[in-house]
Structure 1
Amino acid sequence: MSAIIKHIEINDIKVPVVFEEQKSLPTLNLQLVFQNSGYIQDKNKSGLVSLSSRLLNEGTKELGSTEFAQKLEENAISLTASNGFETFVIELSNLKDVSEKSIKLLTKLLKSPNYSEDTLNKLKTIQIGALKRKENDFDYTAKNLLKSTLFKDTPLENPSSGTIDSLSKIELKDVKKFLNKTINLNNLIIVAGGDFDYKEFTKLITPLLKTLEAGKKQEMSKISLNSKKQEETLIKDTQQAYIYFGSSYNVDVKDSDAYKAKVASFILGGSGFGSRLMEEIRVKRGLAYSAYGYVSINKSHSFFSGYLQTKNETAKEAQQLVNELVAQFVKKGVTQDELDAAKNFLTGSEPLRSETLSQRLNRAFTLYYRGLEQDHSTLELEKIQDLKLDDLNEYIKSHKEINNLTFSIVRK
């Protein structure tokens, strides 16, 4: 059975539900997804959303972290909060026979999170400690250096986990304000599946929904990116060079030609040993153990990025080669053999992307969230199969902005 899109009406608010019934296992899988509420909402308090999700994992004010965790463990209930760039997610999973108990525990958590100075200070100490340990993680450093350069003056400029300085300035009132603004009916999409029919599920979830405020939907802010050719280098005592690169790639999730970007991205850097970057950088020249590049298309933004590691003495050669390969890719496009290989892989691996309930629910949610029809993936595969070489190369050549590569390099 495939996922369906329904709505539950609570106090005149229609909350969307992405739902799939699966009788093979007696389980409940539930996600409360709050839109446009990931670290895109950090503003000038980098790390705020990350801290807020961590605080929700600390139990209720009444029970505290340890006792709340014990109640979950006694009933084999998994309950976690997390966030991405665009979304804030609370995920619950359990066996069917404890579903009412798990929903009641989740309700208590949302009504009374463990707001206390001690809890927040503990989380800040843990997070700051983790950041200090990463000071010599040169891969992490290079990645964040690219973000701060490529996405300067946008919400993507800062790391999702914040900085030592920004975390130290976050107060309990900031966390309360964020969670109160985020966790509401107007901002919610429910993603659920398991051994329930839809009527059973709505009966189970409605008492929880009735405890939530109506609130206001967070509006999505589009992030425009106009990259330029530039380089930022950090000199560190490292055994190899860490090279990250990225550029603008102007495509929207709803573009009718977005599937061409998927194919082009796969051929350029996303197909492992079959990709241009891997073939030229590792196989032919032995400059890196791995080299990747891909186009990321999101609701709020899109861009091209990639990375490789090489010897310190060959960093400049590798950087120049990336520039040349991307320029050649835009100028000359791909070959028929490359297109055929991409078609075979993308269509042949399709069944692997929808084997599990969680995979199917995630896909159904993503399509709904992006405003696409539920048969979009099937139609996209048909378009890929019918894609002509000239049409793909014409598309590749139209995206010259990918040539404006920004590099961040950490080397000795």
Structure 2
Amino acid sequence: MGAIIKHINIKGVDIPVVFEQEKSLPILNLQLVFTNSGYMQDKKHSGLTSISAKLLNEGTKKLGSIKFAEKLENSAISLHTSNGFETFVIELSSLKDVHEKGLKLLSDLLKDPNYSNDVLEKIKTIQTGSLKRKENDFDYVASNNLKKLIFKDTPLENPSAGTIKTISKIKLEDVEKQLKNNLDLNNLIIVVGGDFEYEEIISKIKNSIKVLNAQNKNKEIKISPSSKPITKETIKDTQQAYIYFGSPFNVNVKDEDTYMAKVASFILGGSGFGSRLMEEIRVKRGLAYSAYGYVSINKSYSYFTGYLQTKLESADEAKNLVQSLVNEFVKNGVSKDELDSAKKFLLGSEPLRTETLSQRLNRAFTLFYKGLSQDYNEKELEKIENLKLEALNKYIKSHKEINNLSFSIVRK
């Protein structure tokens, strides 16, 4: 039947609900999505939102992490918290038969998080250990250094997991304050689907989440990547060079021509062996096993980024080749064959993106979150099918800012 958008009112707050009924599967899939509540809210405590999400995965103060986990496991209920840059998400999934137990456990968790110094120290120790191991994950190092270059002095310059130094300074009261501010009805979008009538399940969800406050609305932010090309090299004991690159791509999620960005991104670096970057860097010159690039369009920021690995002695050649390929792409655009291939793939693979209830709910949420209509994807596919080569190349040439590439390179 497809997803529908409704609203419910709790404590005077109108909360959007993205709902899809799925009668063929006796399940509940529920996501509480708190917007503007991801690690964009870390401020001086880098890694705080990540630590806060992990604390919610430690069960309630009353039961503790082990007994709470046993209650979930005994009924095959999944209750998990995670975060991105913009969102903080609590996801509950279960069979229909035990959905009321799942919602009760969710309510218990929201009422009584496992606020304990022992639990916090355990999470911090695990997170610190992970960060120490990542010091030798050179993809991670190069990726983080790139963000420091192009998103300097913004929340995006900091890694979502924080640093060893910032994690060490996080206190229990910081986590409590962060969760109180983020888990607020003013920030909430409910995403729910399964074998339920809307009124039946929403009344139960309302009962489970009425414990949340309605006192704080996090503000949206807008971030612009740096247009100043910078290259940063990091010396490590590595057997190959790791090259990450990025540049501005000025576009808004609600722009009418973002579908052209999708096609252009696919041709330049997102289509595997058919892409310009892969064809020129790997196939013709053998400089890398893989090379990717894509345009990332988000509500708070957008940019072009990509990466490759190459031999140490080929690092400079590969870096210069990426720059020249992007320059040539903007200057001369794409060929008819490239456009036809992109259309064939993008149109043909569309059914694979909506096979499951989870996929459909995520898409419906994303469209609503970005302020787009629920039939946006159908209209986008129609636009892609009718896209003319001249229009696409004109669009590509209008985005000269993509040429302002910054590079983060890890080499020996």
* TM-score of the pair, normalised by structure 1: 0.99
Between 1:371-380 and 1:196-205, the stretch displaced more is 196-205
Q: 1:35, 1:217 within 8 Å by CA — same for their partners in 2?
A: no
Alignment match, 1:269: 269
Contact kept, 8 Å, 2:242 with 2:411, in 1: the verdict is yes
- Quote the residue 1:310 is aligned against: 310
Residue 289 of structure 1 aligns to a residue whose secondary structure is strand
State the one-letter code of the partner of 1:189.
I
Deviation string, structure 1 residues 360-404 (Cα, Å, up to 9, x no partner): 000000000001110111101111111111111011001000000
Letter of the aligned partner of 1:28 in structure 2? L
Letter aligned with residue 209 of structure 2: L
- Is contact 1:187–1:215 with CA below 8 Å preserved after alignment? no
1:155-177 deviation digits (Å, cap 9, x = unpaired) = 10011000000000111111000
Q: How many residues align?
A: 412
Deviation at 1:26, TM superposition (A): 0.8
Following TM superposition, by how much is the alpha carbon of 1:209 offset from its aligned partner in structure 2, in angstroms?
Answer: 2.7
How far apart, CA to CA, are the structure 1 residues paired with 2:19 and 2:186? 18
2:293 corresponding residue in structure 1: 293
How far 1:262 moved relative to its partner?
Answer: 0.5
In structure 1, the partner of 2:345 is: 345
Q: CA deviation at 1:291?
A: 0.2
1:329 is matched with: 329
Counterpart for residue 202 of structure 2: 202
Distance 2:13 2:379 in 1: 32
Q: Find the aligned partners of 1:131 and 1:226 in 2 and give their Cα distance.
A: 27
Distance in 2, Cα, partners of 1:210 & 1:86:
23
The residue type paired with residue 11 of structure 2 is N
- Aligned 8 A contact 2:38 2:49 in 1: yes
> CA shift at 1:11, angstroms?
2.7
User: Following the alignment from structure 1 to structure 2, what is the Cα–Cα distance between the partners of residues 158 and 207?
Assistant: 37
Letter of the aligned partner of 2:353 in structure 1? Answer: R
Kept after mapping to 2: 8 A contact 1:243/1:409 = yes
3-state SS of paired residue (2:93): strand
Question: 1:8 — aligned with what?
Answer: 8
Q: What TM-score does the superposition give when structure 2 sets the normalisation length?
A: 0.99
Q: How many Å apart are 1:41 and its aligned residue? A: 0.5
One-letter amino acid of the counterpart of residue 182, structure 1: N
| Aligned equivalents of 1:377, 1:278: Cα separation in 2 | 28
Deviations, residues 140-189 of structure 1 (Å, cap 9, x unaligned): 11111111111111110011000000000111111000101111211100
State the partner residue of 1:124. Answer: 124
Measured in 2, the distance between the counterparts of 1:206 and 1:93 equals 16
SS in 2 for 1:120: helix
Alignment check: 8 A CA contact 1:34 1:88 kept: yes
Quote the Cα distance in structure 2 between the aligned partners of 1:367 and 1:216: 24
Name the structure 1 match of 2:49: 49
- In structure 2, the residue corresponding to 1:88 is in which secondary structure? strand
More displaced stretch, 77-86 vs 197-206: 197-206
**Contact persistence 1:60–1:113 (CA under 8 A):** yes
Matched ranges for 1:201-220 at <5 A: 201-220=201-220
The one-letter amino acid paired with 2:260 is K
Work out whether residues 234 and 411 of structure 1, in 8 Å CA contact, stay in contact via their aligned partners in 2: yes
Give the Cα separation in 2 of the matches to 1:197 and 1:282: 52
Q: Give, in angstroms, the shift of residue 216 of structure 1.
A: 2.4
SS at match of 2:294: strand
Q: Kindly indicate whether the alpha-carbon contact (under 8 Å) linking 1:62 and 1:114 is maintained by their aligned counterparts in 2.
A: yes
Alignment of 1:280 onto 2:300: no
CA distance in 2: counterparts of 1:168 and 1:11, whole angstroms:
37
The one-letter code of the counterpart of 2:377 is: S
For residue 364 of structure 1, what is the aligned residue in structure 2?
A: 364
Q: CA–CA distance in 1 between the matches of 2:87 and 2:12? A: 24
2:166 match: 166
Residue in structure 2 matched with residue 86 of structure 1 by the alignment: 86
Matching residue of 2:392: 392
Q: Does 1:243 align with 2:243?
A: yes
User: What's the counterpart of residue 254 of structure 2?
Assistant: 254
Name the structure 2 match of 1:187: 187
Distance in 1 between the 2:100 and 2:398 partners? Answer: 54
Query: 1:222 and 1:341, CA in 2 relative to 1: closer, same or farther beyond 3 A?
Result: same
Return the offset for 1:227. Answer: 2.2
Contact 2:233-2:409 at 8 Å conserved across structures:
yes
CA–CA distance in 2 between the matches of 1:210 and 1:307? 45
Structure 1 ranges of 4+ moved more than 2 A: none
Cα distance, 1:203 vs. partner?
2.2
SS of 2:135's equivalent?
helix
1:122-152 deviations in whole A, cap 9, x for unaligned?
1000000011111111111111111111111
Match of 1:225 in 2: 225
Cα distance between partner residues in 1 of 2:10 and 2:410:
52
The secondary structure found in structure 2 opposite 1:68 is: helix
Displacement after TM superposition at 1:236 (Å): 1.1
User: What is the deviation of 1:7?
Assistant: 1.0
1:22 corresponds in structure 2 to: 22
Partners of 2:194 and 2:60 in 1: CA distance = 27
Q: Distance in 1 between matches of 2:323 and 2:120?
A: 45
1:376 is aligned to 2:376: yes
1: CA distance between counterparts of 2:53 and 2:11?
27
Cα separation, 2, equivalents of 1:155 and 1:10: 31
| Residue 104 of structure 1: aligned partner | 104
Instruction: State the SS of the aligned residue for 2:79.
Output: strand
Question: C-alpha displacement at 1:24, in angstroms?
Answer: 1.0
- RMSD (Å) for aligned C-alpha atoms: 0.8
Structure 1 segments unaligned to the other structure (5+ residues): none
Contact kept in structure 1, 2:110 and 2:209, CA below 8 Å: no
Give, as a single letter, the amino acid of the residue that structure 1 aligns with 2:341.
A
